[in-house]
Amino acid sequence: MISRIAHRSNRIREPRADRVTRAVIMTILILLMVITLYPLYFIVIASFSDPSIVGTGAILLWPTKTTMAGYKNILQNAKIWIGYRNTIFLYVIPGTILNVLVTTMAAFSLSRRDLVGRNVIMGLFIFTMYFSGGLIPTYLLVKSLHLINNPLVIILMGAFSVYNMIIARTYFSTSIPFELQEAAMVDGCSTQRLFLTIILPLSKPILAVLALYSAVGHWNAYFNAMIYLQDLKYYPLQLVLRQILLTGSALEKTASTVAESAESESSLELLGTLTKYCVIVVSTLPVIAVYPFLQKYFIKGVMIGAVKG
C-alpha cells in the first residue's frame, strides 16, 4: 500500500530531468535492440534473396527477388548433414548425459557437510579453474591415451565442469534441507537411493541448467574437434561450418582470381555467398529459436553461480 502511494506520487512529481533521462534510456535501449537484432534479421532475409543484389544495399528490410537456391544447395550438401548428425548424436546427447551425471554426482557428494575432507577436494577442483598445464601437455596426453581422431575425446573432455559442479553444489546445499537427507538415512535409505529418489527429483531446475549449459557448449564448440579429430566423418557441425564460412572463402577467392571464365566463376561465388547465409540460418536457428523459452534456466545458472562466485 505504502509503496503504491509512493509510486503514484513519484509518477506525479517526476522531475523534468528524470523525464528526459527516461526518454534517453528508452532511446538507447531501442537503438541497442536494433543493433542486436538487425544483423540476425539481415542474415535471414539475405538467405532468401538473389545474391547478386545482397551486397548492393537493395536489401534492407525484406527479401528481394526471392530464391531458394541456397537452401537447395544445402540440402544436397552431405557434409552439413553429417555434421548435424554428429553434433547431435555423437556429441550433444551422449556428452550432455555424461556431463550431467558426473557433475551432479560430484556436486551431491561435496554438498554433504558430513563428507570428511571435502574442503581439500573442493580446493583441488577449484585450482583447476585458475591454472592449467596448457594446450601442448594436454595434446600430448590425449595422444598418449590414443584418443586422437576418436570422437570419444570430445565427450570425455566435456564430461565434467567445475563451474557447473559449484552451481549444482550450491543448489543442493541451499535448496534441499540436510535434515531431509538425515531423516531418510535414519530410515535406512542408502546414499545411492537418496541421490536417485530424493535429490534428483527435487533438483529438476538445476538439472535443466546443467544440461543446457553442456548442450549449448557442445553445439557451439569447434576448437577441440579441430585439434583432435581428422576424419571428416567425425566432424561436428561447427567444423563443417568453419570450412564453409571461413576456410572455404579463402579457396573461393584464389579460384576466382585465377579463373579465366569469369562469368561462371562469379556466379558460383555468388551461390557460395548465398549458401553461407543459408548455412548460418540452418545451424543457428535451433538454438536461437529455443532459448527464449528456456532462458529462465540459463539465468538461474548465472544467479546461483554468482552466490558462490
Partner 1 sequence: MSVAASTNRKRAARSNLWRSIRKNYMLYLFLVPAIVYVAVFSYAPMYGVQIAFKNFKASKGILGSPWAGVTHFKTFFTSYRFSLLLTNTLAVSVYQILVGFPIPIILALLFNYVKSPGFKKFAQTVSYAPHFISTVVLVGMMSMFFSTTTGFVNTAIAALGFQKVHFFGEPRCFRHLYVWSGVWQNMGWSAVIYIATLSGVDQQQHEAAVIDGATILQRMWHIDLPALAPTIVILLIMQAGSIMSVGYEKVYLMQNSSNLTTSEVISTYTFKIGLQDSKYSYSAAIGLFNNVINFIMLITVNQITKKVSGMALW
What number of H helices and E strands is found in the chain?
A: 18, 0
* Residue corresponding to grid cell 542474415: 43
Query: Site for partner 1 (CB under 8 A): which residue of 48, 49, 51, 235?
Result: 51
Is 56 among the residues that bind partner 1 (CB under 8 A)?
yes
Nearer of residues 20 and 68 to partner 1, judged by Cβ:
20
C-alpha span between 262 and 26 (Å, rounded): 50
Asked if 102 is part of the footprint of partner 1 (rule: CB under 8 A), the reply reads yes
* Span 235-264, contacts to partner 1 by CB under 8 A: 238, 241-242, 245-246, 249-250
- Residue 26 binds partner 1, judged by CB under 8 A: yes
Using CB under 8 A as the binding rule, whether residue 156 contacts partner 1 is answered as: yes
Contacts of 58 (CB under 8 A, 6+ apart): 64
Query: Contacting partner 1 (CB under 8 A), which of 154, 165, 168, 206?
Result: 165
Asked if 182 touches partner 1 (CB under 8 A), the answer is no
| Closest CB 163 distance from partner 1, rounded Å | 11
Q: Which of 8, 23, 25, 85 binds partner 1 (CB under 8 A)?
A: 25
Q: How far apart are the C-alpha atoms of 74 and 196, rounded to whole Å?
A: 44
Tell me the C-alpha distance between 278 and 273, whole Å: 9
Q: Give the shortest CB-299-to-partner 1 separation in angstroms.
A: 6
Of residues 60-99, which lie at the interface with partner 1 (CB under 8 A)?
none
CA distances from 227 to 42, 55, 134, 150, 303 (A): 32, 34, 14, 11, 33
